[in-house]
Amino acid sequence: MTDLMIDEADHWVVKGNALLEAAYKMTLQEKRLLLLAISKIDSRKPIPEPIRIYAHEFAQAYNLPGKWAYEAIKEATESLYHCTIKIPEVANSPEDEYRWIWRKSTTKYDGFVELYFTPVVAPYLSELTGDFTRYKLMRVANLTSVHSVRLFEMFMRYEVEGFGYWIVKLDDFRERLGLGKAYERMSNLRTRVLDPAKNELPEKANMVMDYEIIKKGRVPDRLRFTFYSTTDAEALPISSDRG
């Protein structure tokens, strides 16, 4: 069991790139709980079971009031149990979906929850030797949009020495973020996903971004993102095999 108390500065999130680029839908609180759990995993070693997350750790990591932190992680654990993910690398068909966790435990009085990652997800979090991306959890701790968090992760995937660009087909972008039929109009996608991320990433995650809509004829076809980190060079997160 992993119940190690770790200092905020030591929270590193490390993911295999296939997992980072997978398609899934998740709330902000579910994403926060997931990232805190991942930050407790030593990506060089076998994955521990279970991974224990304390309410006060959650409150400290995300600068939240402690009085409701346990209810927050309990609710996030309950809903995360039902979250699914599509990982093309291991799927037999485009519609194959897998669970993030196969077991969960919550307590009423002890102030912690426990998570068990599924055998499909675990290999992308542990015993990694290459093709992974890592960043400090504190870089995304203050973001208020789960879409901003997902964009930040993708930028870190393709960042080289603090700078980068990423071109993605619009359909693939929508699937990765689990948007479904939401924001089908380009104006809505800009207003609800792209522009909020553009506005809050520089202030809250030290990441400046811009984007361009590339059309095929008159129809939006791809998105081109450019971005750079504004942190000191020595503090920049490290990506391995960015592609």
- Domain range summary for the chain, segments of one domain joined by +: 8-124, 142-235
Contacts of 171 (CB under 8 A, 6+ apart): none
Amino acid at 53: I
DSSP 118-178: -TTTGGGTSS--SSEEEEEGGGTTT---HHHHHHHHHHHHH-BTTEEEEEEEHHHHHHHTT
List the CATH code of the domain at 142-235.
1.10.10.10
Per-residue pLDDT of the chain (243 residues; tens, 9 = 90+): 444 444 455 689 999 999 999 999 999 999 999 999 999 999 999 999 999 999 999 999 999 888 889 999 999 999 999 999 999 989 888 789 999 999 999 887 789 999 999 999 999 999 999 999 999 999 999 999 999 999 999 999 999 988 999 999 999 999 999 998 888 899 999 999 999 999 999 999 999 999 999 999 999 999 999 999 997 533 444 333 333
What is the predicted pLDDT for the residue at 164? Answer: 95
* CA atoms of 8 and 121, how far apart (whole Å): 25
What is the predicted pLDDT for the residue at 206? Answer: 94
Contacts of 196 (CB under 8 A, 6+ apart): 145, 147, 148
Please give the model's pTM, rounded to 2 decimal places. 0.88
What is the predicted pLDDT for the residue at 109? Answer: 77
Amino acid at 79: S
What is the predicted pLDDT for the residue at 74? Answer: 95
Please check whether the two domains, 8-124 and 142-235, share a CATH topology. Answer: yes
* CA atoms of 172 and 191, how far apart (whole Å): 19
Q: Which CATH class is domain 8-124?
A: mainly alpha
What is the predicted pLDDT for the residue at 93? Answer: 82
